[in-house]
Structure 1
């Protein structure tokens, strides 16, 4: 046996609570005749009368009296389940992040977030592409670029400080480069979407850019960093994103030449969501992370 229509059930509970079709109509934002129609359809479905209709009032029949408590309990359970589900969804902040900044900068800082925002979950996805907020459930994103994207508010998180890195094994036996020009004889690695990093570093070093045609390319900074750690060659990365690797000695900076990149990592979200509580919560926290202590 199928369940009666939920709309008729809700109408019955409302009419029984008010003992008035007109008051039920006001609460449900329908006409009194629509309420009466829903009640009649429910009575026809059940095969019993739920109300005694009198001249100026209605009363529940014994069948209606017996039916009402279970209906109220069922509707309350539906409302509570809905509230819990929506509350759980509201407690999830979904962030899409460029791979390099996810593990190298954001994730190590999340302990601080969870210690001050218990019960709020961060869900992180990674990609190199700018997320389409209109077609996804992402709340905020962290993107690499110059900070100008139509329809989005952006906040600079990191201005890149580009450095040359390699595995310490490449420096054994005094084999490392003594100057930037020595790199023409050494294996170079680059991140394809960020190949201009090398040009900016060469410029800071005061030399003409070297030919990168034979350099090994990777699709993301984490992949290139894995290759650097494995000793496959020399790469350019943002110093902010390799603090753990430097501290552990997995990578080293063979030449103290630093370049300020023309791009940076930005927190972005739609202009229409500037006052969204979830957006504001994460935005205020992450911006506090970059303030000088």
Structure 2
């Protein structure tokens, strides 16, 4: 700005405030007492603004925000996210486990785990695993009520989870669903809650995604009586803004996630990370 423009802006500010900010000397100007007071406060405010903007920029670069489905978050992601941070100590991680869809393109999260058909406007989607359902039974229930050799044996137990899932699974397994009750004995907000309730009760079976509970099955806490799985025709995807795909924190997490020795990878070769503008 020219000297005349600066003088004009000062004059406008003085008129607005109703008092002078400067004393005009013969060869220079000096701040008045009120001018010094105003200069001190506004300088502090500008420094605070500068610091806040710097922190926001640093936060965008160094903090990875992940939105994940609740059961996936609690049963798979949280127990393993420490391994990612060990591999990438330069990034802090925040996890949002709400069921609501978060606006990733709008910047509310960097990475998401979503259930669908792999098509979301503006987002890259990397396949993780299909959404399938099969009965799981607490080991204590098998000990108390006997082995589960046929789908009909499940009727010895209370059934937790959506009854529509149970009917569809019975039909998919080639079993007669007519003996199923009209309503489930218990249906909770998440599969993890239903499994916890069944283990505590010891007399129930739950229709859930077996991948979420692979560790409990391996530990003998849960029994998987049947190989048959009901495919819901949708899948779980890792999603992120394709325009931000090359950001170090997003690229690092995507590569770490896809190269994990997980059951849902099915030992399939992982496709190369897409270049900017590419889709998979």
The runs of 5 or more residues in structure 2 that have no matched partner are 270-280
- Specify which of 225, 235, 239 is matched with residue 195 of structure 2: 225
Kept in 2, the 8 Å contact 1:162–1:259? The answer is: yes
Alignment of 1:213 with 2:182, yes or no, is: yes
Deviations 1:119-159 (A, max 9, x none): 42222122334334467722332122332334433211222
Specify the alignment match of 1:286 in structure 2: 257
Distance in 1 (CA, whole Å) between partners of 2:12 and 2:72 is 59
Alignment of 1:181-260 (within 5 A): 181-191=152-162, 195-196=164-165, 199-200=168-169, 202-203=171-172, 205-210=173-178, 211=180, 213-216=182-185, 217-230=187-200, 231-253=202-224, 255-259=225-229
* C-alpha RMSD of the superposition: 3.7
Alignment of 1:93 with 2:92, yes or no, is: no
Cα deviation, residue 242, structure 1: 0.9
Distance in 2 (CA, whole Å) between partners of 1:154 and 1:226 is 31
Deviations 1:147-206 (A, max 9, x none): 2334433211222454321112211255232211222443211147xx447624641x33
Alignment of 1:257-276 (within 5 A): 257-259=227-229, 261=231, 262-276=233-247
Kept in 1, the 8 Å contact 2:133–2:209? The answer is: yes
Deviations 1:60-99 (A, max 9, x none): 65769xx8x9899855665345313431354222222111
Structure with more of its chain in helix, by fraction = 1
Deviations 1:103-132 (A, max 9, x none): 111112201111122242222122334334
| CA separation of 1:77 and 1:207: change in aligned 2, threshold 3 A | closer
Alignment of 1:91-130 (within 5 A): 91-130=62-101
Kept in 2, the 8 Å contact 1:198–1:236? The answer is: no
Structure with higher RCO (Cα < 8 A, 6+ apart): 2
TM-score of the pair, normalised by structure 2: 0.71
The runs of 5 or more residues in structure 1 that have no matched partner are 1-20, 23-31, 53-58
Distance in 2 (CA, whole Å) between partners of 1:267 and 1:145 is 11
| CA separation of 1:249 and 1:153: change in aligned 2, threshold 3 A | same
Structure whose alpha-carbon radius of gyration is higher: 1
Distance in 1 (CA, whole Å) between partners of 2:101 and 2:47 is 42
* 1:147 counterpart SS class: coil
Give the length in aligned residue pairs. Answer: 252
Runs of 4+ in 1 over 6 A off after TM superposition: 69-73
| CA separation of 1:39 and 1:245: change in aligned 2, threshold 3 A | same
